[in-house]
Amino acid sequence: MRAIPGTITIAVACAAGTIAAAAGPYQVAEVSPLAGQTQSRAYGINNLGAVVGRSSNYDAGQGKAVDRTAIVRSPAGTVQALPTLSGESGAWEIDDSGRASGFAFNASSQQRAVRWNTANSTILDLGTLVNPNSQAGETSTAYGVSSQGVVVGESDIPNDAGDFVASHAVVRTLAGSLLDLGTLDSSHPEYEHGYSIAYAANTSGNVVGIASQTATGPWLFRPFIWNAASGMQELPIDATHSTGEWYATTINDAGVITGHVIPVGGQSTPYYWTSSSALPTALPMPASHPHGEIYGMSSGGVMVGMMWNDAGDERAFVFQPGSAVQDLNDLIGSGLGWTLEFARDVNDAGQIVGTGTHNGAVRGFILAPITVLPEISIQDMSVEEGSSGSTTATFTVTLTQP
């Protein structure tokens, strides 16, 4: 037996999950627009890595996107159009079963909340609310979709006189009904006054959004949580901004809620609630970009969104409680031609999607964490040569996490 003294340190590649790895910077990839279109945006990502958003052209004369088309990007990177009702469309979120939420225009040029099944490329018009006099709203849209396929959003609903059209938060149940969540002001019939919007739902059936606290007179908007057992409940707010407009935008299965407040005459400050009964905590925003909003959150509490300053410089950010808010532009390689402006969603693998510019063109992006592998130290290696010509090596391995 021959002893080989010393220590050999090598870097190795291994299958994901075989050893503990630290989250590092991100690799960025483009979500391409459809052929013949010039812009793309990425809004939602599921835990399998499928992304939804929209592709479009840009009309400089109108100053807006045109020919908007909902898209889905497979985990392998293939982008394809989702079916529409009869006009433009856009997708907001996708669950792990491939059900996506969003909007599409019908043959009457009315915007409708829709749910896609991306597995078989089908679309379902979720309809609009109807008041007790059988008067239906014209428009609706869907924002969030839970892991069970429950869709939340908002829908028009006219009052009896037909001279006021409220827009109320809605839940499309698995049974197929469209529930009107009403507002926080219960002194009037639900469909007569007020506004509300539902943005997200978790697996426990909790829905969060924004609703008017006073349905007549001066408007006052508050964040809410709703479930079938308790109805709509107002979330606690920071009394410093008691007259501000408060939003609740996401909720995970642990019950953590994110949102923001727009103070009177001010700009957005992002907050999160550790539970529906806890006071909200403001994000520690950097001095360079003091304003912001949270749009996506993982089950582990990683939050993503957009931050900006008074000069209008917009940056996508990532935040985890206990850490600092980080500009995602600082976490990708330099010289790539990217400016990441808006992070919309994050999955449990840490992949983040959003929109920015790539070499001057508006593009959706997907960020994937780069795994930092440990160093492997081989110590006290011994080699024994067998009689048949075979060689057996014996050594001690030490893993060192960077």
Q: What is the distance between the alpha carbons of residues 37 and 343, in angstroms, rounded to a whole number?
A: 22
CB 258 within 8 A of CB 247: no
Domains of the chain, residue spans = 1-21+375-402, 26-374
Q: What is the distance between the alpha carbons of residues 12 and 267, in angstroms, rounded to a whole number?
A: 48
Q: What is the distance between the alpha carbons of residues 170 and 187, in angstroms, rounded to a whole number?
A: 19
Q: What is the pLDDT of residue 7?
A: 42
Q: What is the distance between the alpha carbons of residues 186 and 62, in angstroms, rounded to a whole number?
A: 41
Q: What is the pLDDT of residue 175?
A: 84
Burial class (CB in 10 A: 0-12, 13-18, 19+), 47: middle
Quote the tokens at residue 296.
């996506």
Kindly report the number of other CB atoms within 10 A of residue 211's CB atom.
Answer: 27
**Cβ within 8 Å of residue 208, ≥6 positions away:** 198, 199, 200, 201, 223, 224, 225, 226, 235, 248, 249, 250, 251, 257, 259
36: left (phi over 0), alpha (psi -120 to 50) or beta: left
End-to-end CA distance of the chain: 34
Q: Show pLDDT as tens, one digit a residue, over the chain (402 residues).
A: 333 344 444 444 333 332 223 334 999 999 999 999 999 999 999 999 999 999 999 999 999 999 999 999 999 999 999 999 999 999 999 999 999 999 999 999 999 999 999 999 999 999 999 998 899 999 999 999 999 899 999 999 998 887 788 899 999 988 889 999 999 987 777 677 789 999 999 999 999 999 998 766 667 899 999 999 999 999 999 999 999 999 999 999 999 999 999 999 999 999 999 999 999 999 999 999 999 999 999 999 999 999 999 999 999 999 999 999 999 999 998 899 999 999 999 999 999 999 999 999 999 999 999 976 556 566 666 666 666 665 566 656 665 555
Q: What is the pLDDT of residue 10?
A: 40
162 secondary structure, DSSP code = S
In the CATH scheme, what architecture does the domain 26-374 have?
7 Propeller (2.130)
Q: What is the distance between the alpha carbons of residues 166 and 196, in angstroms, rounded to a whole number?
A: 9
